[in-house]
Structure 1
Amino acid sequence: MACLFEVSPYDGGWCVKIGDTGEVLFFTGRRRAVAEAHDLARAWPTGAEVRIHGRSAEARSFEAWFEDPAPPLGAVAGA
């Protein structure tokens, strides 16, 4: 199962919630929070999904982005 990284607005800033660990990281800007979520997802050892929520409470839509983990160096392709 993929780890979920959720980017959401939070009291004057943005937060990234890491689903597998329960950690929450706080940022002043949306762009920095999104970049960090993508960086964490790329480095995650299993599959990962990034969800980016909008600031508007009425607009409950989000962007989704999936990252498959890279195979370890020297791994046989398709194995």
Structure 2
Amino acid sequence: MPVPDHRRAFGDRVRELRKERGLSQEGLAHVATLDRTYVSGVERGLRNVSLDNIHKLATALKVDVSALF
């Protein structure tokens, strides 16, 4: 099944912000209290991310939730 465009775009934005901050997937996962494999799945567009986890990612990346979209 192909990855939906909106999930891919969200994942690309998370990856972009993570790299700008010099974080590894493992580092971001640690700060966000998520599993590294979950962060990997988000960045590849494989995860349908919940609002709670969107908030965790935004907080860990020190951005407003809207910056992820």
Q: Give TM-score, length-normalised by structure 1.
A: 0.28
Which structure has the higher relative contact order (CA within 8 Å, separation 6+)?
2
Largest Rg, 1 or 2: 1
Q: Give TM-score, length-normalised by structure 2.
A: 0.30
Structure with the higher strand share, 1 or 2: 1
Structure with the higher helix share, 1 or 2: 2
